[in-house]
Amino acid sequence: MSGPTIQDRRRAPARIRAAAPRRAGTATVRRVGFSFAAEPAQVAQARRRVAALLGSVWSDGPAIDDATLVASEVLTNGCRYGGGRVRVRARVGSQRMTLRVSTPAPWRDPQAPPDAEGESGRGLEIVLALAESVVIASDTDGPGISVTVVCLAEPVLAVAAGRAGAR
């Protein structure tokens, strides 16, 4: 086996770079940027990297689970529909995760309804339900697409339930 195929953009050992905190005011902010070949076997490794980054800042299990699920769906779609190399940039602070996934080719139409009988097509619905915000945009440098999602340290469904209960 020739080692990891996910490449850190800084070319330094990923564990050292991913673990190095940056300060924004008084809150710890951690970042990681890497790319991987759009192969299904690589998605799990990318998901683990994002989950480890989340776990290094957040302590709430459900929020980490929700944000990891969002990341998994976006990474999977990037692999499935984007082809080439999938570029990932993640930033995690005490209150939010921002994840940007870019690919060299466009994905399927996000407005297209999922196939009721198919095994796929529900990932975007999951992302929309769990993320605080989702932005899907064409890449400025080609025909590809970038998907940027923001997840909160407090799961969106819990926040919505709290707001509904306060009425």
pLDDT in tens, 33-49: 999 999 989 999 999 99
The long-range contacts involving 17-20, CB below 8 angstroms and separated by at least 24 positions, are: 18/49, 18/52, 18/53, 18/56, 19/56
pLDDT tens sequence across 70-105: 999 999 988 888 888 999 999 999 889 999 999 888
Asked whether 94 and 27 are in contact (CB, 8 A), the reply is: yes
Q: pTM of the prediction?
A: 0.71
What amino acid occupies position 53?
Answer: L
**What is the reported pLDDT for 14?**
35
Burial string for 28-54 (b: 16+ CB within 10 Å, else e) reads eebbbbbbbebeeebbeebbebbbbbb
Which ranges constitute the DSSP H helices of 78-155? 123-130
Q: Which CATH superfamily hosts domain 27-109+123-165?
A: Histidine kinase-like ATPase, C-terminal domain (3.30.565.10)
| Domain boundaries along the sequence of the chain | 27-109+123-165
pLDDT at 111 over 50: yes
* Residue predicted with more confidence, 31 or 7: 31
**What is the reported pLDDT for 118?**
67
Which ranges constitute the DSSP H helices of 5-155? 14-19, 40-55, 61-77, 123-130
